[in-house]
Amino acid sequence: PVSCLFLSTCSLVTLNVLLTAFIILILTLAFSKSTSKVVSSNTKPVANLGEDQILSCYVSAESQPNRLGQVSVSWDKTDLGKVYRYENGAPALDGQASEFKGRARVFPDAVAIGNASLLLRSVRSSDEGEYTCTIRSSVGHGTVSIQLRTAVFSVPTLKFSNNILTSEASSWFPKPDVTWLNQTGNELNANTSFTEPSPGIYSILSTLQSAKVSETYSCRIENSLVVAVTEATVTGTVLVETFFTFSVASTQLVSFYLNIITSALCIFYVL
């Protein structure tokens, strides 16, 4: 009788252990299926005040099927609350922060395949801050945080006359530094002046004396958020190419060529 009792007790203990392991396995599988990897191609974008900006948010390719079924999207700003909601195939804007009414939207066709990127129109300085994007679907959910920063930057124009190369830019904020380089990368002496057409917004006029025909020069306009480099080859006219870089962190820059910015916005739409 004692041995039978011992065997029965051992069997119960073994059964409990197996049952517990089975429950843990089921919960683990269920949890793994309920979480999708939501990411952003740029978690620290720099928006140009007054222009439209895309905030990137999508389900990574490795964690999604071709279509996600029923999808809901939530965009929130830390200090203001609801920026935009999309659920049941339509916007759900009750309770939307007044600052974003008529200025925020997602792209329904893109949402269906896991891209919840937000179009924010006519960016304001008050738009700066932390945003969260949450995507929920029949296969899971996930969230990513995005830190939007704002600046003012414009494309410089270059002119050449009487051996003087002039660079003008209409609006920059924060106040930038201006540097000229020759084609071997040596820094050149130039005269630069700033005016404020509106408080805190700077216009730039920079002149390089004794510029030579057939030489290539670079004018670099830079602040803590944005760098614009304009390369100019002096011929009978000035052949110019400008590209921007936007700071991601103090030690990292991500480059965007000016002539593909519009195309990049279109790509975000169709992803």
- Residue 130 pairs with which residues in a beta bridge? 147
Look at residue 259 and tell me if it is in a domain. no
Q: Please, are residues 44 and 149 in contact by the beta-carbon 8 Å criterion?
A: yes
- Residue 231 pairs with which residues in a beta bridge? 218, 241
For residues 72 and 50, state if they share a domain. Answer: yes
Global pTM reads 0.75
What is the per-residue pLDDT for 271?
A: 39
Look at residue 29 and tell me if it is in a domain. no
> What's the token pair of residue 6?
């011992």
> What's the token pair of residue 35?
């979480």
For residues 98 and 187, state if they share a domain. Answer: no
For residues 47 and 125, state if they share a domain. Answer: yes
Tokens 């030489």 found at = 215
What is the per-residue pLDDT for 257?
A: 38
Look at residue 23 and tell me if it is in a domain. no
What is the per-residue pLDDT for 67?
A: 58
Segments in 35-74 forming alpha helices (H): none
What is the per-residue pLDDT for 55?
A: 98
- In angstroms, the CA 105 to CA 183 distance is 45
Look at residue 223 and tell me if it is in a domain. yes
What is the per-residue pLDDT for 64?
A: 57
Q: Which of 151, 168, 194 is the last residue of a domain?
A: 151
Tokens 């005040």 found at = 49
Number of domains the chain contains? 2
What is the per-residue pLDDT for 18?
A: 52
Q: Which of 151, 171, 190 is the last residue of a domain?
A: 151
The closest of 193, 204, 133 to 168, measured between CA atoms, is 204
What is the per-residue pLDDT for 28?
A: 41
- In angstroms, the CA 172 to CA 151 distance is 8
Look at residue 6 and tell me if it is in a domain. no
What is the per-residue pLDDT for 235?
A: 85
- Residue numbers of the domain that contains 173: 154-246
Q: Which of 151, 176, 197 is the last residue of a domain?
A: 151
What is the per-residue pLDDT for 16?
A: 53
Q: Residue 195 maps to which CATH number? A: 2.60.40.10
Task: Tell me the CA distances in angstroms from 162 to 138, 144, 212, 213, 250, one per residue in order.
Answer: 68, 54, 10, 11, 40
To the nearest 10°, report the CA torsion of 223, 227, 228, 233. 110
What is the per-residue pLDDT for 1?
A: 53
For residues 129 and 195, state if they share a domain. Answer: no
For residues 96 and 194, state if they share a domain. Answer: no
The secondary structure element, H or E, covering residue 201 is strand 201-208
Look at residue 19 and tell me if it is in a domain. no
Look at residue 184 and tell me if it is in a domain. yes
For residues 132 and 45, state if they share a domain. Answer: yes
Counting every residue written for the chain, the total comes to 271
For residues 158 and 129, state if they share a domain. Answer: no
What is the per-residue pLDDT for 181?
A: 97
The closest of 198, 219, 200, 197 to 208, measured between CA atoms, is 219
For residues 86 and 139, state if they share a domain. Answer: yes
What is the per-residue pLDDT for 26?
A: 45
List the chain pLDDT tens, one digit each, 271 residues.
Answer: 544 443 344 455 455 545 554 444 444 444 444 456 899 999 999 999 999 999 999 998 665 555 566 899 999 999 999 999 999 999 999 999 999 999 999 999 999 888 999 999 999 999 999 999 999 987 778 999 999 999 999 999 999 999 999 999 999 999 999 999 999 999 999 999 999 999 999 999 999 999 999 999 999 999 999 999 999 999 877 889 999 999 875 333 443 433 333 233 333 333 3
